[in-house]
Structure 1
Amino acid sequence: MPLVPDFLAGRTPPDLYHAYLEPAFTPWARALLDTLRPVGRLLDLACGTGLVSRLAADLPGVAAIEAIDVAAPMIAKSEALDPAAGETVRYSVASASELPFDDHHFDAAICQQGLQFFPDKPAALREVRRVLKPGTRAAFSTWCRAEDGNAVFGAFERIIAKDLGDDLVPFGPFAFGDRRTIARLAEEAGFRVIALEAESRLSHLPDPRTFVLFDLAFLGRPASDGTLQPIMDFDDPASDAVIERLIEKMDSATTQWRQEDGSLLAPMRAHVLLVEA
């Protein structure tokens, strides 16, 4: 079987997200919660597979969590993973630009690595401010550019740009890394910026082969209707030679972060924004 279909093996995007992204996100989720120190009712935006909500549910003072994501499969995976689902945490499908909550409903809001994907960032930030009680706080994190402290992804962007086309970079998660833009959008939404810092932490990433196969499965070029089209025909065995070359290059580019089990422990850098409504 060709490499990418064999790697996917019937697993859904939420399955892959849980397996390969949550280990990288966990130290950041803990740090973002430490920054926010939520109490009362918490809103978790772009919750993905529910990592932040699962951690927040164990914090003293957090009474209830509303976790939203636009992707129904992510919400289903969150519910399956979270023993607090339906009790402390309620997961639901919703858009950050049209939050289904009353004004001044929440005591805190958090968004880990979601803001860069919102199609209407100003509307989403205004909505978050609307549903927060006056004087309460929200915390957001968004990756800095890949070449600005995200070494493994920076290496992969350079390899992809050279081998497959520079129109494929920057990758979406790293395309919203301008500090001044982040601060301006928050202020225009009516927030008071308390802090906006670029922070670095070590993150656990999969081995280079897994890293390449995972990222290629989600990398694409936009079609006329806005959907992402795969960068190659993964069912064509001829694609495997190209993929093996990418894996070999990533293997060489990441030796300094290699662990005994083959996984990578590498620095990642993100903007952490703390605001007050």
Structure 2
Amino acid sequence: MSETDKLFAGSIPENYDHHMVPLIFASYARDMSERVAALAPKSVLETAAGSGVVTRALAPILSSDARYVVTDLNQPMLDHAKSRQGADSRIIWQKADAQALPFEDAAFDLVCCQFGVMFFPDRPSGYREARRVLRPGGSFLFNAWDRIEENVFASDVTDALATFFPSDPPRFMARTPHGYHDTALIRSDLAKAGFTDVKIETRAAQSRALSARHVALAYCQGTPLRNEIEARGPDRLEAATDHAASVIAIRHGSGEISAKIQAHIILARV
């Protein structure tokens, strides 16, 4: 993983929240928040919270006396998430590295992480930290995208940019968001961290957008894929976005469109 794969800065946080969240993250955030609430934790730690889509879904259904610590390594994303959240005395916002959590042992009933583990440079280390801060009987709930071929729009954008930049195609989507799809590897990494009770569910959903242009904007300008595009030419972002939109329109139509997305939901217990 390159350093730019983790760089959510500039206009990316706002574009990410405006375009990517409704496109692929919102339905999984609802699913995760419902799973967390069903476990009735009194203290929750969210790592890699991003723009706060899970936080916004979970806070209204979390127990009124729960403590909810929301963290992310990227301060611009955390600032954006906080700005979108109403005043809530239960929520503590804190910049934190999921691989070196600044919390005491056995401090939480549940740790959750939506589509963040793919960005961990050392996943077993991140999992060990989650296990360390969990109380006995606690739960670690996270999800990870399945292979890019099972996520149609991500695959379409990647293919489109490969034709736009034929000599040096941007591979961020395949390399990072969809690069940790092997469930055997996920189980192995969790075992290295000391988790023995692990359940994995693969869940498909539909990604919907108002137009092909919305999809292209989401991926090309609302993710670190933008960094890869601009590295190939700062003035080529709009042209690359337009090209991706045209390819998606040819494949899916010019009006409202939809396509399959698929992810793994993992529950590991202490």
Same fold (TM over 0.5): yes
Query: In 1, distance between residues paired with 2:226 and 2:179?
Result: 15
In 1, Cα distance between equivalents of 2:87 and 2:256: 31
Q: For residue 66 of structure 1, what is the aligned residue in structure 2?
A: 69
Change (3 A) 1:172 1:182: same
The 2-side partners of 1:240 and 1:13 are apart by: 14
Distance change >3 Å, CA 183–CA 205, structure 1 → 2: farther
State the 1:116 CA deviation. 0.2
Distance 2:212 2:129 in 1: 39
Please, which of 127, 130, 133 is the counterpart of residue 131 of structure 1?
133
- 1:194 Cα deviation after fit: 3.2
SS at the partner of 2:83? Answer: helix
Instruction: Tell me if structure 2 keeps the 8 A contact 1:72–1:93.
Output: yes
Give the TM-score normalised by structure 2: 0.84
Q: Aligned equivalents of 1:241 and 1:54: distance in 2?
A: 34
Shift of 1:172: 2.1
In structure 1, runs of 5+ residues without a counterpart are: 1-10, 222-227
Alignment map for 1:118-197 (pairs within 5 Å):
118-147=120-149, 149-165=150-166, 168-169=170-171, 170-197=174-201
Q: Which residue of 93, 107, 113 maps to 1:105? A: 107
**Which TM-score applies when normalising by structure 1?**
0.82
Aligned equivalent of 1:209: 213
Deviations 1:32-75 (A, max 9, x none): 23334342101111001112122221224360111110111111
Q: Identity of paired residues, percent?
A: 27
Are 1:219 and 2:221 matched, yes or no? no
- Secondary structure, aligned partner of 2:177: helix
Q: Tell me the distance in 1 between the aligned counterparts of 2:122 and 2:98.
A: 9
Q: Does the 8 Å contact 2:142/2:267 carry over to 1?
A: yes
- 1:5 corresponding residue in structure 2: none
- SS of equivalent to 2:61: coil
Kindly indicate whether the alpha-carbon contact (under 8 Å) linking 2:55 and 2:70 is maintained by their aligned counterparts in 1: yes
Gap runs ≥5 in structure 2 = 1-9
User: Once the 2 structures are TM-superposed, how far is the Cα of residue 12 of structure 1 from its aligned partner?
Assistant: 2.0
Contact 2:229/2:240, CA 8 A, preserved across alignment: no
Distance 1:127 1:84 in 2: 29
Larger gyration radius, structure 1 or structure 2: 1
User: How many equivalent pairs are there?
Assistant: 253
Letter in 1 for 2:204: S
Shift of 1:106: 0.3
Post-superposition shift, 1:251? 1.1
Residue 17, structure 1, aligned to residue 45, structure 2: no
User: Which of these residues, 233, 244, 247, is aligned with residue 246 of structure 1?
Assistant: 244
Measure, in 2, the Cα distance between the counterparts of 1:98 and 1:140: 17
Aligned CA distance change for structure 1 residues 91 and 205 (closer, same or farther; 3 Å): farther
Which structure dedicates a bigger proportion of its chain to helix? 2
Structure 2 distance, partners of 1:45, 1:64, is: 14
RMSD: 2.4
| Distance of 2:82 and 2:241 partners within structure 1 | 35
Conserved 8 A contact 2:145-2:262: yes
Amino acid at match of 2:225: L
Would you say 1:267 and 2:268 are equivalent positions?
no
CA separation of 1:47 and 1:245: change in aligned 2, threshold 3 A: closer
Query: Mean Cα displacement is larger for which, 135-144 or 60-69?
Result: 60-69
